[in-house]
Copies of this chain bind each other. A is one copy, B any other.
Amino acid sequence: MTDWETSISSSGEDAVIRGEALENVMDMDFADAIWLLLKGEKPSEEESELFNTILSSSIDHGVGNPSTVSARTVQSGGNEMNTSAAAGILSLGNAHGGAIEECMKILQSDETAEQIVDRYLKEEKKIPGLGHKVYDEEDPRARKILSKSEELGLAGEKVGKIKMIQEEFADRKIGLVMNVDGAIAAVMSDLEWDHRLGKGLFIIARTPGLVAHVHEEMDEPDFRREDGEYVGE
């Protein structure tokens, strides 16, 4: 039989989060409590400010993306909030919301910028964190995160590494703007977050958006039906 042990929290009268009494956690800002829960220690004031910016940057992004479509479609099938919000989170796979984690992984690896660029070019894959469909010059959200991290004295080696990757591409005549996923990945890596929390970070940030969309969907009278076409023989 399995043992259910954890170093994260306890319940009941003496409930704690990472050793801190839950009653004290209730006096913390939500973002700080998230940091404590996932990092095992409280953030500094600067870390807290930057972390709030990162979370708020991903809170929602319109109605047409896969996670919102999934959540609202499931809600329209006649379901409860938990079922529909979970369906939205399910869609956050490697192709939608997974870039932060993949970018954190390469930034936290031993591969040099040069090796990384060689490998991605050889494998003909898109590198996570660089490149944007709309912006040629600069992604304003990426810039905001980076400049905050510099002002707050929190930009370090990993912000440096993603810029080196960018320069390696530029040396080979490939101009790639840094996108918001890349900025978050670099900054969170400098803040010493485990790359395996990259997708979790995005899920935490986006769940409020999914809840908002499911709530809005509750007032829709019908269930969602797309015009499907049968193209078999």
Q: Of the candidates B34, B59, B63, B78, which one forms a contact with A33 in the assembled complex, judged by CB atoms under 8 Å apart?
A: B59
Given the interface pairs A11-B228, A207-B204, A215-B197, the reply to whether A91 lies near B73 with Cβ below 8 Å is yes
A201 to chain B: which residues have CB within 8 Å?
Answer: 211
A22 to chain B: which residues have CB within 8 Å?
Answer: 57, 141
Q: Is the CB of B232 within 8 A of A214?
A: no
Q: Is the CB of B60 within 8 A of A78?
A: no
Q: Is the CB of B197 within 8 A of A208?
A: no
In the complex, whether A76 has a CB less than 8 A from a CB of chain B is: yes
Q: Contact size class for A?
A: 35 or more
Measured between alpha carbons, how far is A209 from B137 in the docked complex, in Å? 38
Q: Is the CB of B98 within 8 A of A90?
A: no
Q: Is the CB of B23 within 8 A of A140?
A: yes
In the assembly, how many copies of this chain are there?
4
Q: Is the CB of A199 within 8 A of B11?
A: no
In the complex, whether A189 has a CB less than 8 A from a CB of chain B is: no
Measured between alpha carbons, how far is A212 from B11 in the docked complex, in Å? 15
Q: Is the CB of B61 within 8 A of A90?
A: no
Q: Of the candidates B74, B89, B135, B144, which one forms a contact with A85 in the assembled complex, judged by CB atoms under 8 Å apart?
A: B89
Q: Of the candidates B62, B212, B218, B231, which one forms a contact with A15 in the assembled complex, judged by CB atoms under 8 Å apart?
A: B62
A69 to chain B: which residues have CB within 8 Å?
Answer: 4, 69, 73, 224, 226
A59 to chain B: which residues have CB within 8 Å?
Answer: 17, 25, 30, 33-34, 37
Q: Is the CB of A60 within 8 A of B227?
A: no
Measured between alpha carbons, how far is A141 from B59 in the docked complex, in Å? 28
In the complex, whether A172 has a CB less than 8 A from a CB of chain B is: no
